[in-house]
């Protein structure tokens, strides 16, 4: 008499018979990548922190009340009364910062490796859009504790948005749901943070990952332009297939999981040593000294203090458009940084400028 299969296996077979799940999983997992692909796992780590955000954010939303009279007290209740509430909130706060940081690292890695070039132009554009959504995620979540730091940092951040030429006033009114930061602002930020942005980001993430799957990972050592030995470049040739390939599953997936475990360990250590704090309740009538936005907007905040306002606003906007259209602007077919001196030099100078202005704004 044959032994009956476990219930999960029978359920899987029942579904597989109808929806061909095995072939779908094979298509997703059983692919090959260049063995010398150096991703540094930045994209996977960003995805990991998004998952952490989704889980901890859901747990926090169970107890959070998005009104000025109750928001601050609900945060205190989470931190002091809910079992492990302080830990969940600290993990949410730290992972938000790490998600933004590693999203930037991922974009920089793709840029310096020239992985945004053909056939990955749309993949790059989706990555830039994901960075914008991630920054919006951090900005909208910053107000929710409704303490002094959150209130006035959001005030400064929204005023920066209000300085955009032509549409600044309308943008400010949209963000604040009025002229000032009020209960309507808090309600709007909460709605964007827990509903609109997560759904939009999740959809964009699915598209981005699908595009990565379809085009594959770029070989960082590829060189699509041949020379004639006299310094003249020949016409671009199609990207050659890498000589050595590596199975995505389980090899690369295992490395990603290990990287996630490392990040989880670092996250637990940080939240244990430096848990998320809470300042005094928000007071619109008392402006604290040295009001600043969150660290990822500090460079813009400091730039607006030392350059004409129109210049400080337009440069990041034009820079974002340039970044979005970079695959179509950069016509150099080579991927190696040595063969892209102009793009690499500009990228390094921009990053140095952002870092300098961020440190300057933090110390000011």
User: What is the CATH number for 203?
Assistant: 1.20.810.10
pTM score: 0.90
The answer as to whether 7 is a domain residue is no
Query: Quick check: is 150 in a domain?
Result: yes
185 lies in a domain? Answer: yes
Is residue 25 one of the residues assigned to a domain? Answer: no
- In this structure, how many other beta carbons lie within 10 angstroms of the beta carbon of residue 282? 22
Burial label, 247 (beta-carbon count in 10 A; 0-12, 13-18, 19+): middle
Q: Do the domain assignments include residue 308?
A: no
184 is in which domain, residue-wise?
Answer: 30-225+242-292
Q: Which pLDDT does position 102 carry in this prediction?
A: 97
**Residues 210-254 pLDDT 10s:** 999 999 998 877 765 544 333 344 444 445 554 688 898 888 999
Query: How far is the first Cα of the chain from the last one, in angstroms, to the nearest whole number?
Result: 79
Other beta carbons within 10 Å of 340: 20
Tokens of 60: 């926090």
Which mean pLDDT values do the consecutive 10-residue runs of the chain (364 residues) have? 77 92 88 88 96 96 96 96 95 96 97 94 97 95 94 91 88 92 96 95 96 90 51 45 77 94 95 93 87 89 89 91 96 92 96 95 86
Closest CA to 42 of 214, 212, 268: 212
Residue 327 resides in a domain: no
**pLDDT tens digits, 321-336:** 999 999 999 999 999 9
Count of structural domains within the chain = 1
């Amino acid at each position: 008499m044959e032994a009956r299969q476990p219930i999960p296996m029978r359920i899987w077979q029942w579904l597989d018979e109808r929806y061909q799940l095995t072939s779908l999983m094979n298509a997703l997992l059983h692919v090959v990548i260049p063995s010398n692909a150096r991703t540094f796992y930045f994209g996977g780590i960003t995805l990991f922190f998004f998952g952490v955000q989704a889980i901890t954010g859901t747990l926090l939303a169970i107890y959070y009340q998005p009104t000025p009279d109750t928001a601050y007290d609900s945060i205190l209740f989470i931190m002091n009364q809910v079992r492990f509430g302080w830990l969940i909130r600290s993990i949410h706060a730290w992972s938000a910062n790490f998600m933004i940081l590693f999203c930037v690292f991922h974009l920089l890695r793709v840029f310096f490796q020239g992985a945004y070039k053909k056939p990955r132009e749309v993949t790059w554009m989706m990555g830039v859009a994901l960075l914008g959504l991630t920054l919006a995620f951090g900005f909208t979540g910053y107000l929710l504790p409704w303490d002094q730091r959150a209130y006035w940092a959001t005030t400064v951040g929204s005023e920066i948005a209000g300085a955009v030429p032509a549409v600044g006033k309308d943008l400010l009114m949209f963000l604040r749901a009025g002229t000032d930061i009020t209960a309507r602002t808090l309600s709007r930020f909460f709605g964007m943070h827990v509903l609109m942005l997560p759904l939009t980001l999740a959809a964009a993430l699915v598209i981005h990952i699908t595009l990565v799957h379809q085009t594959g990972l770029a070989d960082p050592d590829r060189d699509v332009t041949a020379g004639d030995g006299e310094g003249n470049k020949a016409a671009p040739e199609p990207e050659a297939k890498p000589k050595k390939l590596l199975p995505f599953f389980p090899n690369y997936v295992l490395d990603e999981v290990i990287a996630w475990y490392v990040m989880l360990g670092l996250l637990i250590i940080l939240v244990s040593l430096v848990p998320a704090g809470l300042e005094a309740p928000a007071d619109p009538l008392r402006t604290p000294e040295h009001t600043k936005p969150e660290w990822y907007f500090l460079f813009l905040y400091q730039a607006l203090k030392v350059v004409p306002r129109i210049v400080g606003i337009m440069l990041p906007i034009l820079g974002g458009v340039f970044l979005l259209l970079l695959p179509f602007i950069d016509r150099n077919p080579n991927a190696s940084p040595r063969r892209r001196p102009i793009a690499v030099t500009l990228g390094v100078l921009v990053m140095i400028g952002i870092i300098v202005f961020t440190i300057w704004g933090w110390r000011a």
